[in-house]
Amino acid sequence: MSALDDLRRSLAQPAPVYVCVGDESMLVREAIEAVRGAVLSGGLVAFNHATFTCGEEGAAGFAEACRQVPVMALRRLVEVRQVQDGNKAVMEALLAYVQAPIDSTVLLVSGLKMPAAIGGIDYGIRVTNQVKKTGLTLKFDGEGVDPATFARARAKPWGVTVETAAVQRLLDLGGEDLDTLAGNIELCAGFVGTGGSITAAVVAEVCASTAEADVWKLTDSIVAGDADGALAELHRLLEGGEAPHRLMASVAWQLRQVLLVQDAMRRRLPDREAGIRMPPFKLRAVREMVEKRPVSPSGWLESLAVASRRMNSSRAGDRRVLESFVLGLVVRP
């Protein structure tokens, strides 16, 4: 049973403290989302959820937030993020709190790892040992994760299957990094559509084709609301031989990355924790664009879903579907 399985099983009756650390950021993110989903279902989320980031002023204030009473809910959730950056004040407060946690609060501590010893005291080990008595501590480093099983699990929510040869091809391209593997599965799933199958040929066509930078020129125009620029880039790519289905999958992946950037900015999440995968120079540019022209996640995701259904129902009008999709996003952020 994996660490995520252990976590999900425990959430039937949430523990008062969870420590989720590891260098597989995607698994840590999934753990965080699982805890949020279980603890914050129902009730007034805005009043029952507080986040503190180690390395920022006031992080040690999480303990006081933990003592607040839930508002119209059984529990409140308090998060302490980037624990690897925790200073002496934070770690002392954390050690004191986990010795006597509040039953009506779930404290979720996450990050890459516990911090190194401070002043000769290894608070990380002390906190971890104490949490084993009062809660659950989990390490997400990818050890014991079978890439083939992982790939098929990631494909299932998209309604697609993955052939064994395709998994090997994916590993050849991106290694065993789970973030990369998940991103490529998403690209391929968008290409084959619901009910389709990801084969080695699909992987070769989708993941080793269009230069990412070329597609970003199109995506940038969409985000900026530049209809003329978006159509010009779209036509340039299509006339250069790019298949509409493949291009649609690439654009969809990049648009989801833009949404992740915007969400991370609003929630003050670290890029790694948010699942953002783009070069620093591109990340800076995207941040500037969404600050100037915020996008509507619901509008974009609805457009993506409609375009994907239309794209996969009739190949005859692929190009027109793609043009309509791009224009729709430009005029409706």
Q: What is the CATH number of the domain that holds 259?
A: 1.20.272.10
* Per-residue pLDDT at 179 exceeds 80: no
The residues facing 105 across adjacent strands are 76
- Let me know: does 7 contact 18? Beta carbons within 8 Å: yes
pLDDT value, residue 302: 82
Are residue 216 and residue 203 in the same domain, yes or no?
A: no
The pLDDT of residue 316 is 47
Q: Which of 81, 100, 108, 75 is nearest to 7 (CA)?
A: 108
pLDDT digits (tens, 9 = 90+) for 114-155: 999 999 999 999 999 999 998 999 998 766 678 888 888 888
pLDDT at 133: 93
Distance CA 288, CA 309 (A): 32
Provide the domain count of the chain. 3
Could you say which of 189, 207, 225 is where a domain stops? 207
Give the pTM: 0.65
Residues 62 and 158 in one domain: no
| Least reliable range by pLDDT among 73-77, 128-132, 191-195, 242-246 | 242-246
Domain boundary pick from 110, 139, 168: 139
Which two three-digit tokens encode residue 177? 């990094």
Q: How far is CA 267 from CA 175, 262, 263, in A?
A: 31, 9, 6
Same domain flag for 64 and 180? no
Of 119-128, 248-257, 284-293, which range is least confident? 248-257
**Domain C-terminal end among 157, 192, 207:** 207
Domain shared by 247 and 197, yes or no: no
Largest CA distance in the chain: 69
Q: Name the residue range of residue 158's domain.
A: 147-207
The pLDDT mean for the chain works out to 86
The answer to whether residue 108 scores a pLDDT higher than 70 is yes
> Which pLDDT value is given to residue 125?
95
Cα separation, 248 vs 304, in Å, equals 9
Question: Distance between CA atoms of 198 and 56, rounded to whole angstroms?
Answer: 44
30 and 116 both lie in a single domain: yes
Backbone angles phi, psi at 177, to 5 degrees: -65, 120
SS3 141: coil
203 and 251 share a domain? no
Instruction: For residues 180 and 135, state if they share a domain.
Output: no
Question: Are 125 and 38 found together in one domain?
Answer: yes
**Are residues 155 and 133 part of one domain?**
no
